[in-house]
Structure 1
Amino acid sequence: MKDGKKITASREESTSYMNQTLPMRESFDLIQRDLMIGERMASFYFINGLNKDDDMLKLMDALLKIKKEDMPAGILQFMEMAIPYTEVELIEDFDQVLKNLFSGVTCLFVDGYEGAIAIDCRTYPARSVEEPDKDKSLRGSRDGFVETVVSNTAMIRRRIRSEHLVMEMQEVGDSSRTDIAICYMKDRVNKEILCDLRQKVLSIRTDDLRMNQQSLAECLMKRKWYNPFPKFKFTERPDTAAACLFEGKVVLLVDNSPSAMILPTSILDVIEEANDYYFPTLTRVYLKSARGLISFLTIFLTPVFLLLMQNLNWLPKMFAFVAVKDMINIPLIFQLLILEIAIDGLRLAALNTPSMLSTPLSVIAGLVMGEFSVKSGWFNSEVMLYMAFVAVANYTQPNFELGYALKFMRLQLLILTALFNWIGFLIGCIVVVCSICFNKTLSGWSYLHIRLN
């Protein structure tokens, strides 16, 4: 496909090349439409379902009315005089024709004209703009990104009416040819980071981005398997993306993905959510501090509880009530690990449960997991209480990856504490601190980097 073959003035040669390259007979959605324009043969190539039928009908109607004596000598004059449409471009090689065709652009070959005319009357199947389920806000706008990159850039442009807002379009993937928009404010962005990011995007050598945004993230930065903390911040809200652009950050939009990738980022950016932009400073600081405290507790609550139960003499008398009162039939470490897996099982079951059944099944699961599991002797009520807090506290994090990163840190703390007592707990704490402090983002900055604007 990337041979760079030039388009000649012969329509027969152009259509012959196109029909040999494309599976016209096998694929029902690849359409070739031949018609006479000014007593010259012409051929339209387009993909069924990706163009606007009304616009195509009006365009063909205008072209069929052209007479022989009205046909200009050059293709540029033909584009100016004969095609009543706004987005029209001249293409000189077949590689660009195929790229535009597969993107939904209609391509026109006219006998006697050297080149192809790309008419961008495409439309993509897309869902309506609505508020994201995961990234909700108590105040502010109720729109969210969709799977079409042009619609997403339009929602950002609507909020930032500035000549400094730049949206560069790049293409990644030899087969998928996925469109990627690099958005930034040229008067605020860090030029070094922007150049480095642009170079990394252009240097990606892959056949496809099969999982869109996640595939792009893996191509940009190879993840270290032993460090689960996220390298990027994602949002499905255009107002959050616009706010980050004003802060000098770079936003990546990937076609077919309903979220934006924001970088550079730090752990303070990751735990940030949309509500932080809509509340006064004092309220915003309190909410961020509360999320930070809860995140801290999700990591250390159950490991500290396990450590104290292994060393009851460390427990102050005023906190003696936290000790397990009932008989321990199953070691506490196994209770905690079983509940960790059980909670994830319930979460996965909730994702795959029909919405009409989710509420009754949640009630049944809560009763079985809560009351009967304690009465049966499998779990102690104190363990159930602390694991219930951890399960609910995970949902205070707007970032899904960060929630599981905290979970993995908690699991390694539990296992090390159970195996080596306080020495294991200390080693686990060092691992947690090192995982955060030595985690590098795409920009090369530390995960704890704070940028002051």
Structure 2
Amino acid sequence: MNFSPNLTDNITYLHKKLNVQTNFDVVYRIIHIGGREACLYFIDGFTKDDSLLKILQAFSSIKPEDMPQDAHSFSKRYVPYGEIGLLTNDTDMIIQLLSGVSCLFIDGYDKCITIDCRTYPARGVSEPEKDKVMRGSRDGFVETLIFNTALIRRRIRDPKLTIEIMTAGESSHTDIAICYMESRVDNKLLDTIKSRIKKLKVDALTMNQESLAECIFPHKWFNPFPKFKFSERPDTAAASLLEGNIVILVDNSPSAMILPSSVFDIIEEADDYYFPPITGTYLRLSRMAISILSLMLTPTWLLLIQNTNLIPDWLAFIQLSDPLNVPLIWQLLILEFAIDGLRLAAINTPNMLTTPLSVIAGIVLGEYAVKSGWFNTETMLYMAFVTIANYSQASFELGYAMKFMRIIILILTALFNIWGYILGTSFAVCSIIFNRTIAGKSYIYPLLPFHWRELKKRFLRGRLPHTEK
């Protein structure tokens, strides 16, 4: 509905539409501006009270003979603070109001004057728990979109950095910021992403970026390897933008979605670049080696125990030293699920109880579980290494993808012995090789297709790029 020049008609319609009498946080004030009656709508808790007070004080000094004939002239002359807009219909106005923008109606004007003096509840930009670094910046993204874009702008002071705002969700109208460098981005991919977001037909992005990711890239669900890199670090997002990637920020989410991302992009961490090249290279190669070990250690050990004739003399110590009461495959699978159970319990445990309960869980699952005969010492040792190794890289999605592949290899090895081990390993490798990024490119580029110079950059951390004068 388009607004009427009659203020009473607008108030009657909006009171019914917004259910003002029931919604206590939808506030309206009838005021007088230049001898005319006016109505100001705002959401309690979303408005800077000091700014709104100054605006209202400025309105009170306007004389009737100074009132302009139209809303456009009024907004230019008498609204001294905030971003100003003019709206003609109720749909746009209600979305703006529920986003925190104050809306002003003046009798005789057929437009709504929007005054953006909003503020959102926000926590401090402290270092994220998961993406910690040994050296470097200690700030992190928060749930407020404007804070996150400011953290990126602070690092890239270039007019070519473009941040476009879009919305998705018929009920949530969630703000989505698409960040890119004009001269470096893949324009074809950028157009594809924007087109997919515009065509979204969803009620709400309930789970923020995960909901958006599943909507814009409905990939095959049975391949668990992540198609996006998520980071809560603004320095990582800024570095990705300078490399030509696209960064998507979603309101109410404290992480950035970086695309396109290959498996090498997901494995990279900020610590690789906060240390000298030789140290960064060591950290990167260590992380890659540990990730491969976390995938292959327990299946390989299970295979060797099932075929003791394959164990060389120098590895004889890996054989079981205690009687086997429960088949190894069941021990390994039980521990795989038990570790996830402990992780979920740790997340939901109050902070004051985390340490004592962790100690109790460690004793029960460690010493007593072995003494009771449920688990062998060697099984506990290798699963402990795998559990710790999963935390060597920051991506939860990649960690769980490796876990699923490891379980598949374990089951196939237990069922079909050597051929099962080969089949499971081949399945894991093919899941990576035949995966594709959102841009449709190889998931393991520059390994396939092979590009030596780029491959060297992925494995060896060279000097940081600089500009020659």
Normalising by the residue count of structure 2, what TM-score does the alignment of the two structures yield?
Answer: 0.94
2:277 to 277, 281, 284: 281
User: Which amino acid counterpart does residue 182 of structure 1 have in structure 2?
Assistant: I
> Which residue is equivalent to 2:311?
315
Matched, 1:31 2:27: yes
> Which residue is equivalent to 1:64?
60
1:7-406 correspondence to structure 2 within 5 Å? 7-406=3-402
Contact 2:82–2:117 (Cα < 8 Å) also in 1: no
Aligned residues: 449
Q: 1:86 Cα deviation (Å)?
A: 3.3
Q: For the residues of structure 2 that align with 1:290 and 1:229, how far apart are their CA atoms?
A: 20
User: Which amino acid counterpart does residue 232 of structure 1 have in structure 2?
Assistant: F
Any idea what SS the aligned residue of 1:240 has?
A: helix
> Which residue is equivalent to 2:462?
none
Q: 1:269 Cα deviation (Å)?
A: 0.7
Matched, 1:447 2:443: yes
Q: 1:225 Cα deviation (Å)?
A: 2.5
- Which segment drifts farther, 319-328 or 14-23? 14-23
CA distances 1:385-404 after superposition (whole Å, capped 9, x unpaired): 10010011011120011111
CA distances 1:138-175 after superposition (whole Å, capped 9, x unpaired): 11111110101111001100110001000000010111
User: Which amino acid counterpart does residue 324 of structure 1 have in structure 2?
Assistant: L
Q: For the residues of structure 2 that align with 1:9 and 1:276, how far apart are their CA atoms?
A: 62
Q: For the residues of structure 2 that align with 1:277 and 1:191, how far apart are their CA atoms?
A: 28
Q: For the residues of structure 1 that align with 2:184 and 2:379, how far apart are their CA atoms?
A: 50
Q: 1:88 Cα deviation (Å)?
A: 1.0
User: Which amino acid counterpart does residue 224 of structure 1 have in structure 2?
Assistant: K
Q: 1:179 Cα deviation (Å)?
A: 0.3
Q: For the residues of structure 2 that align with 1:317 and 1:106, how far apart are their CA atoms?
A: 78
Q: For the residues of structure 2 that align with 1:392 and 1:336, how far apart are their CA atoms?
A: 15
> Which residue is equivalent to 2:467?
none
> Which residue is equivalent to 2:460?
none
User: Which amino acid counterpart does residue 184 of structure 2 have in structure 1?
Assistant: R
Q: 1:80 Cα deviation (Å)?
A: 1.6
Q: For the residues of structure 2 that align with 1:420 and 1:90, how far apart are their CA atoms?
A: 70
5+ long unaligned stretches in structure 1: none
Q: For the residues of structure 2 that align with 1:23 and 1:421, how far apart are their CA atoms?
A: 67
Q: 1:359 Cα deviation (Å)?
A: 1.3
Any idea what SS the aligned residue of 2:166 has?
A: strand
CA distances 1:308-330 after superposition (whole Å, capped 9, x unpaired): 11110111111111111211011
- Which segment drifts farther, 331-340 or 5-14? 5-14
Any idea what SS the aligned residue of 2:253 has?
A: coil
Q: For the residues of structure 2 that align with 1:279 and 1:205, how far apart are their CA atoms?
A: 45
Q: For the residues of structure 2 that align with 1:256 and 1:385, how far apart are their CA atoms?
A: 41
Q: 1:97 Cα deviation (Å)?
A: 0.6
Q: 1:74 Cα deviation (Å)?
A: 2.0
5+ long unaligned stretches in structure 2: 458-469
Any idea what SS the aligned residue of 2:38 has?
A: strand
Q: 1:447 Cα deviation (Å)?
A: 1.0
Q: 1:297 Cα deviation (Å)?
A: 0.7
Q: 1:128 Cα deviation (Å)?
A: 1.3
Q: For the residues of structure 1 that align with 2:221 and 2:160, how far apart are their CA atoms?
A: 38
Query: CA RMSD of the aligned region, Å?
Result: 1.2
Q: For the residues of structure 2 that align with 1:446 and 1:33, how far apart are their CA atoms?
A: 58
> Which residue is equivalent to 1:411?
407
Q: 1:248 Cα deviation (Å)?
A: 0.4
Q: 1:227 Cα deviation (Å)?
A: 0.9
Q: 1:407 Cα deviation (Å)?
A: 0.4
Q: 1:282 Cα deviation (Å)?
A: 2.1
User: Which amino acid counterpart does residue 191 of structure 1 have in structure 2?
Assistant: N
- Which segment drifts farther, 235-244 or 362-371? 362-371
1:434 to 430, 436, 440: 430
Q: 1:46 Cα deviation (Å)?
A: 0.8
Q: For the residues of structure 1 that align with 2:444 and 2:226, how far apart are their CA atoms?
A: 13
Q: 1:224 Cα deviation (Å)?
A: 2.2
Contact 2:101–2:117 (Cα < 8 Å) also in 1: yes
